[in-house]
Amino acid sequence: MNTKIAVSVPEELVETARQAVVHGQAKSVSAYVATALDHYRRQQTLGEFLADWEAELGPIPEHVKAKAEADIARVVGTVPLADVHAVA
């Protein structure tokens, strides 16, 4: 089920969403925003997981982080692990 809401967003972000629609990267501005929110939610979940992991087992070794970043970049594009972890 979808819920309609009204939000205030900087014009440059609205234009980015509109351009994504024009270029076929999103079905609509609403779909673009929903995808962005879902992406943010997933980052938070991953960030929380990483924080819990480190609290229990200690810091994740740098070579493991580098491998994870390479794997993520290969699958979905570049998402620095530090950015994901910073969301938590």
3-state secondary structure 13-42: HHHHHHHHHHCCCCCCHHHHHHHHHHHHHH
Residue 1 inside a domain? The answer is no
Residue 28 inside a domain? The answer is yes
Residue 45 inside a domain? The answer is yes
- Amino acid 35: pLDDT: 93
Handedness of CA 53, 55, 59, 65 (dihedral sign): positive
The number of domains in the chain is 1
- Amino acid 66: pLDDT: 87
Compute mean pLDDT per 10 residues along the chain, 88 residues long, and list them: 93 94 94 91 84 91 86 70 52
Residue 69 inside a domain? The answer is yes
- Amino acid 69: pLDDT: 80
CA separation, residue 65 to residues 10, 22, 58, 87 (Å): 33, 36, 13, 16
Rounded to two decimals, what is the model's pTM?
A: 0.61
Residue 35 inside a domain? The answer is yes
Domain assignment of residue 64, given as a range? 11-87
Residue 60 inside a domain? The answer is yes
Residue 2 inside a domain? The answer is no
- Token output for 58: 């200690």
